[in-house]
Amino acid sequence: MTIRGLSVWFSERTVLDRISFTACPGRIVVIVGPSGSGKTTLLRAVNRLNECFPNCRTEGSVELRLNGRDGDIYRDFVPLPDLRRKVGMVFQTPSVLPFSTRKNLAMPLKVTLGLDGARLSERVEWALREVSLWDEVKDRLHADASTLSGGQQQRLCLARVLALEPQILLLDEPTASLDFKATEKIEELLTKLKKRYTILAVSHSLSQTRRLADRVCVLRDGRIVRELDHQHLQDLNEFQRLVEDAF
């Protein structure tokens, strides 16, 4: 993933200003910054979800390699629904639909990929196993997903994205509303998943950032003011100082 000169406006307000950086599979890039610095807007620019909001204008390029082809997503090199399947997003609040656990996974697979029958069931099971949720829900797949705990719901949302076979994962504070046990499980999962996916995450927790990130981009007022590599993350005090300076 290569982002070049990306700027985003909502009405006349500049939210992102000429952002450029790269990310690739095997490494987690974490974006940190004060509230209102444009972190979520940056994530949403990668799957063009900002266009769901009124008066949004985007300039610059986001080049991705999808299905073996390279292209700028803002030049429509891949249809929008396909782009959003391949660049999966997990939101801060667990967004389960008012359906059963099974249908939360099955509906997007049926509607977007046309899966049905045994193939659908296999994919559902695979996705739930990927997020270590299968054993916890296999006996109540038809129960309402809202009866799951917060951590289980968030893992369900991640499973739903993984089931669509994405290539890039966008995670917007995925553990913000979870307790420390559930957070631990999600972080273990992400460490496992980074081997296969390009992961771009937003976090408000510096300790979590240190645990997960291979690279850190510090955003302030819509600009990347600092990029930190793995070596900067080794010493906690040094890392904290660098981030606070950038804030």
Partner 1 sequence: MKTATDLLLTAYAWFCAIAVFLATSLLLGFLLKRGMGVIHPRLFFGDTPWFPALLGTKPVFEGIWPALVGTLALVLVSSVMAIPLGIASGIYLSEYASARVRSMLGFAVDVLSGTPSIVMGLFGFTMILFLRKTALPQARPSLFLAAGCITLLILPYVIRTTQTALEAIPEHIRLLGPSLGLTHWHHVRHVLLPSASRGILSGAILAIGRASEDTAVIMLTGVVARAGLPASLWDKFEALPFRIYTLAAEHRSVQELDQGFGMALVLLLMTGSLFAVASFLQRSLEKRWKTT
Give me the residues that bind partner 1 (CB under 8 A), please. 47, 49, 52, 81-85, 88-89, 91-93, 95, 97-100, 102-103, 107-108, 111-112, 142, 144, 160-161, 164
Pairing of strands 13-22, 223-229: unpaired
Distance CA 128, CA 165 (A): 13
Q: Which is nearer to partner 1, 68 or 98 (CB)?
A: 98
Which is closer to partner 1, CB of 51 or CB of 221? 51
Contact 57, 8 (CB under 8 A): yes
Comparing CB distances to partner 1, the nearer of 158 and 216 is 158
* Rounded Cα distance, 147 and 163, in Å: 21
Eight-state DSSP code of residue 37 = S
**Min dist. Cβ of residue 168 to partner 1 (A):** 12
Which amino acid, one-letter code, is at 144?
D
Question: In the complex, what is the shortest distance from the CB of residue 229 to partner 1, in angstroms, rounded to a whole number?
Answer: 30
Q: How far apart are CA 77 and CA 81, in angstroms?
A: 12
Counts for the chain of helices (H) and strands (E), in that order? 9, 10
What is the residue type of 29?
V
Q: Which is nearer to partner 1, 83 or 243 (CB)?
A: 83
Smallest gap from Cβ 227 to partner 1, in A, equals 27
- Considering the complex, what minimum distance in angstroms separates the CB of residue 175 from partner 1? 16
Q: Residue 52 CB, nearest distance to partner 1 (Å)?
A: 6
Closer Cβ to partner 1, 165 or 229, answer by number: 165
Q: Which residue carries 């900002």 as its tokens? A: 50
> Rounded to whole angstroms, how far apart are CA atoms 128 and 136?
9
Q: Give the nearer residue to partner 1 in terms of CB position, either 102 or 215.
A: 102
Least spacing, CB of residue 1 vs partner 1, in Å: 17
Tokens 């509906």 locate to: 107
